[in-house]
Chains A and B, each alone.
Chain A
Amino acid sequence: MSLTNYLVLAAILFTIGAVGVLVRRNAIVVFMCIELMLNSVNLTLVTFARASGTIDGQIIALFVMVVAAAEVVIGLAIIMSIYRTRRSASVDDANLLKY
């Protein structure tokens, strides 16, 4: 048992989140996947803070959480606006910006 376990777990969670972004179409679920990716990064930061013996990693993880909260607020507001005009929360339906 070493800190590597935490890091590998974080990598796997990150990958699951990324694949979720790619395969899910519900915008809210996609957002959840992004949250999962952010959380796995936080786990990495906390782990490295412990390994390096400084507390800066935790501070940055805190900042990530704050930024994630702001991002969630804005993102969900955008999803609401899109839903209100298009009656759909599918990311595939918002595809007008193309060739």
Chain B
Amino acid sequence: MATDNKPAVSIKDMIKKDRILNSGHRMCAGCAAPVVIKLMGMALRGPTIVCNNTGCLEVATTIYPYTAWNLPWIHVAFENAAAVASGIIEATKVMHAKGHFEHEHVDVIALGGDGASFDIGFGAISGAMERGHDMVYMCYDNGAYQNTGIQRSGATFMGQETTTSWAGSVIPGKLERKKPIAEIIAAHKIPYVATVEPSNYRDFITKFRKALEVEGPAFIHAFSPCPRGWRSATGESISLSKLAVETGLHPLYEVINGEEWIMSSASKNLKELKPVDEYFKTQGQFKHLFKPEWADFRKRIQEQVDHDWELLKKRCGVE
């Protein structure tokens, strides 16, 4: 791995940084997850081990006999990367003390999609955060169980159509709001929680590096567009990610020790939010919302987003 310890945020440094995920992986064309991983790689600082929950990223990067990973990498199951990481962290420390493991410190990163993180593996994350293992857990959130064929998860937006939250004649897609995962993890009072997305890449890399540097657990919530599931143009994944910030659907912020809320400049500098309609109209999964019968429902979604945005601004001390 890279011996260069600095995070790479300029293009000239980035192209020199060791690549952690090679080409030849089988993520769909236009999937943002490999970009999320690339940006994570730009933040690395030394020996690193990656634990990956089951999901698109896990499956499509390690189809035997090929692996796209240049880092030591382990997948065990869908819901347990945080627990696997707990074991790795504590084992390497003990083994190093006994002279059985060379490195005094290894950065251990656990990765999971939104299904693994918001839903099935939530308990394992909560436990790992509470126990204080020095890991970074990153959820790449593409808004549904895309790997199994676009089923709703706790991360699915209100109004989003999935194969288990169909938009029908009486139901306009998912009726429930998205679980505020970063807030919930921040409530564990861990040293560092941040939301990121790939278009604001410098912000992403800087935050990921902070997450590595704090002592104790850190949680990164990365937004990650999925053209296949969202029925969006493959070329638009990064711009959609930006639009999610601009509409307040994925605001960027940090929470230090569960108490100090800091709004990141990409969100803070917004004079006002763009209407969620602008985001919705880019994707097939929201197109039903523009039927006249769902106008009120769409309005309710906007009100919810506005409400959450005001609350976040207040928390972050932003006027």
A and B found bound together: no
